[in-house]
Amino acid sequence: MPYILKKYYPWRNLIFIAGEGVLIFLIINFVFAFWPGAAEYRELLPFYLFRALVVTLVFQLCFYYFDLYDQTIIPKFSDHLLKVLQTFGFGCIVLAGIYYFFPFLIISMRMFLAGLLGAGLAIIFWRFLYFRVLEHRMFDQPLAVIGTGRFAGQIAEAIESKKDSGFRIKAIVGDPPDSGALAGIPVFSQIRDLREFCEKRAIEKIVLALDERRGMMPMNELIEYKFMGIEILDAVGFYEELTGRIMVERVNPSWMLFSEGFYVGRMTRMLKRVIDVSAATVMLLITLPVFLISSMVIKLETPGTVFYRQQRMGENGKAFNIIKFRSMCADAEKDGPVWAAAQDSRVTRFGGFIRKTRIDELPQLINVLRGDMSFVGPRPERPVFVSELAESIPFYAIRHVVKPGITGWAQIYYPYGASQEDALHKLEYDLYYIKNLSIGMDLATIFQTVKVVLFQKGSR
């Protein structure tokens, strides 16, 4: 999990999240310590610290699930303030539920309101300061990009589209760009022109983003800058770190061969399987009433079977039958297989509901127990589409080296997949997952999936 946090959140964002948690925790304890009758606080210090920790965790989880830790775009502060207040209100409701089931955690109303007021004011001030940091690009690492073509433009767009990327392009080397994300950035014709920037540490990193490298790599200058302490980065790896995806169109077999990752150890596979079986068993027991109700409604709404079985491509190219609740009319594919659509006319009324709430995916827990699938992995595709996509998309077959999943990295960050272009973008996320696969990454993906399901994002 720490690895994923470091990969997905820049260090500045981690400081922001941790700092906000510390603020809430300290202010709640400050109220405890100086409230009339504080002798009890000193006598029962561990218990009160635990109470404060519960409040802190609840509010920070609410901030996370309401996208208040997503700072890729700087919102209008008044709108953001309103969202913070609404989230505080939701957090109070969650705490009320916790206090109902665990009354020993209850904090007196006056003490709670005093702590809430103090924490709210501190958070507003803390977020105001952080927004100023983002707006003025303070503490961003300055870098130069070698190249002014399409590849360099993609790198620049990835940096500029994330206000919290932690990077800022100070110079580019190459022909003057016509427009786009590179427009307005100082342009140098030769890499040697960056010497003054490097000597003054006005540039800390150089990103190589040449569309064509053959005969174009300024090796001598790059080696010289490296000896000066400037970090030289390959654009593909830099883009991967920045976006959580691999640029499939920019990599070749040698990159795949020599890059780190793309190996899952025996212990990780065993632990992943233990987690899959345990979690699937528990979830089947918990969701049994949902299974029964959904089965009855599907049977009453339209003629046909309750479950829908369809052949999908699994690990190592082995086909299996995926199990889902039927959400379409019984003759949905009488004219042959077609891509799913956002507003699919074949979907029944109840089918639309179970798709939005992801209830239709619950029978796949049976596939997990059988060993056909895992909780987290690339989404399994139909063999007829796999053959088609493997011919047009490079490295598409690599996604079958691991078990497919009910949820996955691609489903979270690129939810829709209804065309070859969508399949290409989803593959970029799938390859990133396979390259960096770990138990921590699986847990982070499941944690994010809960957020997607609760707010009904990306359902189809």
Domains of the chain, first to last: 2-135 (no CATH), 141-243 (3.40.50.720), 266-331+342-454 (no CATH)
Query: Which ranges of 136-265 would DSSP assign to H, the alpha helix?
Result: 150-160, 195-199, 219-227, 235-243, 253-258
Handedness of CA 352, 358, 363, 364 (dihedral sign): positive
Q: What is the pLDDT of residues 341-353, one digit of tens each?
A: 555 667 888 888 8
Residue 2 — pLDDT band, cuts 50, 70, 90? very low
DSSP assignment of 119-165 equals HHHHHHHHHHHHHHHHHTTTTPEEEEEE--SHHHHHHHHHHHT-TTS
Kindly tell me the burial class for residue 446, based on how many C-beta atoms sit within 10 Å of its own C-beta (0-12, 13-18, 19 or more).
middle
Mean pLDDT taken over the chain: 86
Q: Which residue has 């064509």 as its token pair?
A: 212
3-class DSSP state of 87: helix
pTM of this prediction?
0.84
Report pLDDT for 319: 94
**Residue 77 predicted with pLDDT over 90:** no
> Residue 187 forms beta bridges with which residues?
172
Report pLDDT for 417: 62
Cβ of 435: how many Cβ atoms within 10 Å? 16
Kindly tell me the burial class for residue 283, based on how many C-beta atoms sit within 10 Å of its own C-beta (0-12, 13-18, 19 or more).
middle
Q: What is the pLDDT of residues 316-374, one digit of tens each?
A: 999 999 999 988 876 655 555 555 555 566 788 888 888 888 888 999 999 999 999 99
Quick one: tokens of 122?
């501190």
